[in-house]
Every structure is written in C-alpha cells, then in structure tokens.
Amino acid sequence: MAKKEFEDKLNELTELQYKVTQENATERPFTGEYDDFYEKGIYVDIVSGEPLFSSTDKYDAGCGWPSFSRPIQEAMLTEHVDNTLARTRTEVRSSNADSHLGHVFEDGPQELGGLRYCINSAALRFVPLAEMEAQGYADYIQYVE
C-alpha cells in the first residue's frame, strides 16, 4: 500500500476505528459489530484490506469480542509483547498496515488448537462469501467453503 493510499484510508476511518488501529485502543466488550455475527466470509484489515480471518475459524468465546482459533495465514499477523496491564499479553497486529487488531491468548478450545485471537470489530471489515470474488478475494474462498 502506497503512503498516499495509506493516509487516504486513515482519513476514511471512524474515530473508533482510528483509535483502535492506530492508537492501540480497545473497544468496549459486547459492543462491536462482529461480536455476535456469524455469516460466511472473511474478515480483512479495515486499513489495508489484507485478509486476516475466516468465518470458519470464528467461535463464541463469551469474552465480548470476535474470537478466532487461527488466522487465514500466520504471515498476515505480527505478534508483540504487551505489558500495558498488570499482566503480560501478546498483541496482534496486521503485517502490512501494522494495524492494532487485539490480542491472542492460549485459552482457546483445545480441539481448535488452543488459541483465542480476541480481535476488535473496529479493526475489521467483513467480506461476505458471495462478494469475495468481486472484491478481489477469490483466492480466499477456499478458507470459507
């Protein structure tokens, strides 16, 4: 993503989307658009559009944020030590736009690999399965079907 394109996209974000992705904010639990949302498709970075998570890997963790057992491709995410609270956590960011997405925890369902990617809805844009090809995500349909 070119610098001008990146800056233009940042200017299109809502205040919450900007605070979450650029200032490491966290949306309030149970308020995000995708917390209780289970349509088929993929979730992409709100800034860059890079594909991050599939609806196939989304589950209800009861934590108040969308939760996924794994990313579509691990290379799409970077992990960083986060010591901002009383305990150490692992922050998750998108690899291309460096957007703050949320955190990954090791308390997910064991049958799904044991990880829980706890992600802010404000950092995501959902692309429905029926629109994936038209929006340039045809290569990722295999992760949903």
Is the overall model pTM greater than 0.85, yes or no? yes
Asked whether 94 and 9 are in contact (CB, 8 A), the reply is no
Bridge partners (DSSP) of residue 77 are 94
One-letter amino acid of 137: Y
**3-state class (DSSP) for residue 103:** strand
Has 63 been annotated as catalytic?
no
**For each of the chain's 145 residues, which pLDDT tens digit applies?**
678 888 888 999 999 999 999 999 999 999 999 999 999 999 999 999 999 999 999 999 999 999 999 999 999 999 998 877 777 889 999 999 999 999 999 999 999 999 999 999 999 999 999 999 999 999 999 999 8
Which pLDDT belongs to residue 68? 98
Asked whether 100 and 117 are in contact (CB, 8 A), the reply is no
Pairwise CA distance, residues 137 & 145, whole Å: 13
To the question of domain 1-143 being in CATH 2.130.10.10, the answer is no
Q: Which of 118, 124, 132, 144 is labelled catalytic?
A: 118
Q: Using alpha carbons, list the distances in angstroms from residue 92 to 5, 28, 67, 107, 141.
A: 23, 18, 13, 15, 24
User: What phi, psi does 78 have (nearest 5°)?
Assistant: -125, 150
Pairwise CA distance, residues 120 & 128, whole Å: 18
Which pLDDT belongs to residue 1? 66
> In the chain, where are the structural domains located?
1-143
